[in-house]
Amino acid sequence: MWQHPAVQLGLDTLDDHARGCAILGTGGGGDTYASVLAARAALAEFGPVDVLALDRLDADALILPVSGWGAPTVGIEKLPSGEEGATLVRMAERWYGRAVDALMIGEIGGGNGVEPVGWAARLGLPLVDADGMGRAFPEGDMASMHVAGVSASPAFFADERGNGVVASPQDAQWLERIARALVVAFGGAVAGADHPMDAATARRATVLGSVTLATSIGAALRTAGLDGVLDVTGGTRLVSGTVTDVDRRTAGGFARGTVTVEGTGDDASRGVIVHVQNENLLAEEAGAPLAMVPDLITICDEGSNEAIPTERIRYGQRVVVIGIPCDPVWRTTDGLRIVGPARFGFDHGYRPIEELAR
């Protein structure tokens, strides 16, 4: 079906991959700690995972996008058995009466970008070099497959005990509703596969190159610091400075708030406010936007260069805020309707970071 996969994800590249997923998580997407440990254990036992560009797969190859749903608090207590991916694949294969050819990471940002690596290793399946977001987003309908009009149905759900559910959500909103109900039924966490598609569809309906991008972001971070990350992503350094205020509140089930960064060094006298709702969504200076969703905004630790998750931002941290252009799919009319600034309650009309940085 394919020859000589060019890229593999293994023990030697897992940490780079996870670091890159954290950068693409834009402050959200969940902690990568437990996912990295689980993936490392699986890679050590079952060997590395092939990462395939979509054009290396036959047009009718069956691709299953997978991700975890649920409360972060549950995720750090009830850890996966590791068999969730196998249960999902078994259900999908029974449904379609044929083999699944590859897994796809549903959301590359944060821990969701790491967990499927372990599932793929255990199943001996390749991962396609793509995902459904190119970053992290808070809701399940915020997927490129939704923009492309791919049906969310059938959707498969599995817990850690071998329980499985097959659902036929009528659209992405129903997918979100059904998944939330199952999260409750299964005790706060569930693994899911939705928007299954063939490779021909995936070529036009996904964010291409996400997996190799995450890994090269992590490698660049390790070898060349944030400048390396900006080179790889075409991103911009928005400000370097000190966190001087963190304002948090919970609204509508999401952690909302602002982080104020006062510039230091070359940025002295600058002040940047980052608006947060689970993810970092908008960076402003004196009321003028520097970058906004769906472009990526990540707050990195000045010393380690690692991305800092939203819940760990504190007064006094020395940080560098970077902005990265999002995938073109999000800049289309349909894309902006689903994840543009208005969807998150901001008044700014969307302007690409490349234009704002000029």
Binding mask 249-288 for other proteins (x = CB under 8 A): -x--x-x---------------------------------
Q: Which is nearer to other proteins, 74 or 342 (CB)?
A: 74
Q: State the CB neighbour count (10 A cutoff) for residue 289.
A: 19
Nearest partner of 211 among 80, 20, 59, judged by Cα: 20
Residue where the block lists tokens 């006094």: 316
For the chain, what is the radius of gyration of the CA atoms?
19
Q: Which is nearer to other proteins, 285 or 311 (CB)?
A: 311
CA 21 to chain centre: 7
- Based on the shown chain and the rule CB under 8 A, indicate whether residue 98 belongs to the binding site for other proteins: no
How many binding residues for other proteins (CB under 8 A)? Answer: 40
- Based on the shown chain and the rule CB under 8 A, indicate whether residue 315 belongs to the binding site for other proteins: yes
Residues 299, 97: Cα–Cα separation, whole Å = 46
Residues 98, 163: Cα–Cα separation, whole Å = 21
- Based on the shown chain and the rule CB under 8 A, indicate whether residue 68 belongs to the binding site for other proteins: no
94, 98, 161, 248: residue in contact with other proteins (rule CB under 8 A)? 161
Nearest partner of 237 among 139, 321, 176, judged by Cα: 321
19, 40, 135, 195: residue in contact with other proteins (rule CB under 8 A)? 40
Q: How far is the CB of 12 from other proteins (least distance, A)?
A: 16
Residues 213, 229: Cα–Cα separation, whole Å = 10
- Based on the shown chain and the rule CB under 8 A, indicate whether residue 183 belongs to the binding site for other proteins: yes
Q: State the CB neighbour count (10 A cutoff) for residue 3.
A: 6
DSSP track, 204-263? HHSEETHHHHHHHHHHHHHHHHHHHHHHHHT-EEEEEEEEEEEEEEEETTEEEEEEEEEE
Of 52-60, 181-189, 282-290, 341-349: span binding other proteins (CB under 8 A): 181-189
Rounded to the nearest 5 degrees, what angle is found at the Cα of 180, between the Cα atoms of 103 and 28?
A: 65
CA 301 to chain centre: 20
Q: Which is nearer to other proteins, 70 or 289 (CB)?
A: 70
Under a CB-based contact definition with an 8 Å cutoff, are residues 132 and 106 in contact? yes
Write out the H or E segment, with its range, that includes residue 198.
strand 197-198
Residue where the block lists tokens 């808070």: 138
Of 11-19, 164-172, 313-321, 329-337: span binding other proteins (CB under 8 A): 313-321
- Based on the shown chain and the rule CB under 8 A, indicate whether residue 72 belongs to the binding site for other proteins: yes
Q: Which is nearer to other proteins, 34 or 342 (CB)?
A: 34
73, 168, 304, 332: residue in contact with other proteins (rule CB under 8 A)? 73
- Based on the shown chain and the rule CB under 8 A, indicate whether residue 81 belongs to the binding site for other proteins: yes
- Based on the shown chain and the rule CB under 8 A, indicate whether residue 118 belongs to the binding site for other proteins: yes
Q: Which is nearer to other proteins, 45 or 55 (CB)?
A: 45
Q: State the CB neighbour count (10 A cutoff) for residue 325.
A: 20
Q: How far is the CB of 312 from other proteins (least distance, A)?
A: 6
Q: How far is the CB of 118 from other proteins (least distance, A)?
A: 6
Q: Which is nearer to other proteins, 244 or 332 (CB)?
A: 244
Binders of other proteins among residues 191 to 220 (CB under 8 A) are none
Interface residue list for other proteins (CB under 8 A): 33-34, 37-38, 40-42, 70-74, 76-83, 118, 160-162, 183-184, 187-188, 242, 244-245, 250, 253, 255, 312, 314-318
